[in-house]
Amino acid sequence: MKVLMTNKFLYPKGGAETYIFSLGKILAAQGHEVQYFGLKNEKNIVGNNADALVDDMDFSIGIKNNLKALFRIVYNFQAKKQIRKVLVDFKPDIVHLNNIQFHLTPSIIIETDKWRKENHSSCKIIYTAHDYQLVCPSHGMFDINVKSCEKCLDGRYIHCFKTKCLKNSKAKSLLGTIDGYFWKYSSAYSYLNAIICPSKFLKEKLDTQPQFRDKTIVLHNFMDIVPLQNANKEDYILEFGKLCKDKGTDTLIEVAKKMPDQKFVFAGYGPSVEKMNGISNIEYLGFKGGDELYKLIAEAKISVCPSEWYENCPFSVIESISLGTPVVGSRIGGIPELIVDRKTGELFEAGNAIELEKAIRRIIDSKSTMEQYTKNCYEVKYETSETYYTKLMEIYEKRNDHAK
C-alpha cells in the first residue's frame, strides 16, 4: 500500500509531527511505501520523490505587509499544483491528511479528489483531527482569555471575528472567519472517507456538524513505552511539555506557592517559565526528551496535566501513566478519557487552584494511596503501535461509503 502522509510541517515541532513520523515508521516497517507532502523548510527530515513541496509563508511580518499570504491562507493554488505532481508520480492508495489549514489549505483535498476521479483511482482520503479546526476557526475552542468557548459550534463563524479569537486581532480573526465559512460551504470535506478523532470528546464536537457526523471514528493516540526497571520515586511533582497559561501552568505555579515544603519540577518551554523566578520550591530544568525525560517522569511522585483548554489526547498523560506515575489532570476535553479517577490519578476542575491542591495532597499525603495508584498505572493498556496499526488498516481498507 502507498501512503502519502500530509502535514504542513515536516520536521519535529509538536504533537502532530510526532504522530506522522511515528506512524510513517510503523507503516514502513509493515512493508508499506510512505512519502510526505508539506511545506519547504531546511529542517525537514522527510519529503517525496517528486521533490514537490509548498513555499512557506512568513506570518511574522504581518498580513498587511504580506498580501500574497492573505489569499494563500484560505486557498493555496501552489499547494494544489504541487500535490498534483506528487499524486501523478507516487499514485498513492491513501492520502492521510493531518494539520493542513492556513498553509496547505483544504484546496489539496479538492485536487486529490479531482485526480482520483480522473484516474478512476480507489485512493482514500483520511484525515486525522489533531485539534478543533474543522469546527473552530481559531482551532482551540477557547477565547482570548483562554476560557473554553463553543460559540462557533452553531456554525456561525462570525463569532470568531466579533470576539477577536485569533491572536486578539481583528484582521487575523476576519481571515479565520472567512476561512471557516469558505470551507464549510465548499465540497472539500465531503470528499473525506474518514476522520480519525484521538478522543471521544473531539468526536462529539465534530459531530455537531452534519457534514462530519458519518465520517468520525475514535482512535486514541498510540505510544510504545516500556516501564523503566527499578525506578525509585523521588520527592517532586512534575509538569512537562509546553508551559503556558492555556496548559494550566500558571495555575500549578499558584499551587506551588501554597505548598512551600513540596518540590515542583517543570520541564519544557513556554512563557510561563518567567513566572517561576524567585519561587524557592520550583526547579525548572529546561527542555528534556528521550530517556532523560522518561526517567524524570518515572521517578516523579505524580505528574500534573492542568490544561485549561479542551485538550484532545495528551501524550503527557499516556507517557506518565505508562511509566507508573499517577496523573492529576483537569476534568476537561479528552483528559478524563485517559485517567481513571481515584485509581490512576485524580481529576479536578480546570483552572481551580483550590481543587488542584486538594487533588495533589490526596495522593502525596497518603503513602498507601500513592502506592496503589502507581500499581494501578502499570495495569493500564493504551493503544500501542501494534494495536493502532491493526485499527488503522481497518479504516484504510474500509469501503468508500462516506465520500462523494
pLDDT tens for each residue of 322-375:
999 999 999 999 999 999 999 999 999 999 999 999 999 999 999 999 999 999
Q: What pLDDT score was predicted for residue 92? A: 98
CA distance 87 to 5: 12
Same fold, 2-222+385-397 and 237-378: yes
| Third-level CATH fold of 2-222+385-397 | Rossmann fold (3.40.50)
State how far the Cα of 328 lies from the Cα of 120, in Å rounded to an integer.
51
pLDDT digits (tens, 9 = 90+) for 22-35: 999 999 999 999 99
The domain spans of the chain are: 2-222+385-397, 237-378
Q: What is the mean pLDDT of residues 270-284?
A: 97
How many Å apart are CA 90 and CA 33, to the nearest integer?
10
Mean pLDDT for 224-253 is 92
Q: Is 114 helix (H, G, I), strand (E, B) or coil?
A: helix
- What is the sign of the dihedral through the CA atoms of 75, 76, 77 and 79? negative
Q: What class has domain 237-378? A: alpha beta
Kindly report the pTM of this predicted structure: 0.91
C-alpha cell at 295: 526517567
pLDDT in tens, 297-319: 999 999 999 999 999 999 999 99
SS3 content of the chain, % helix, strand, coil (to 5): 40, 15, 45
Dist CA 276 CA 256 (whole Å): 10
Indicate whether 66 pLDDT > 60.
no
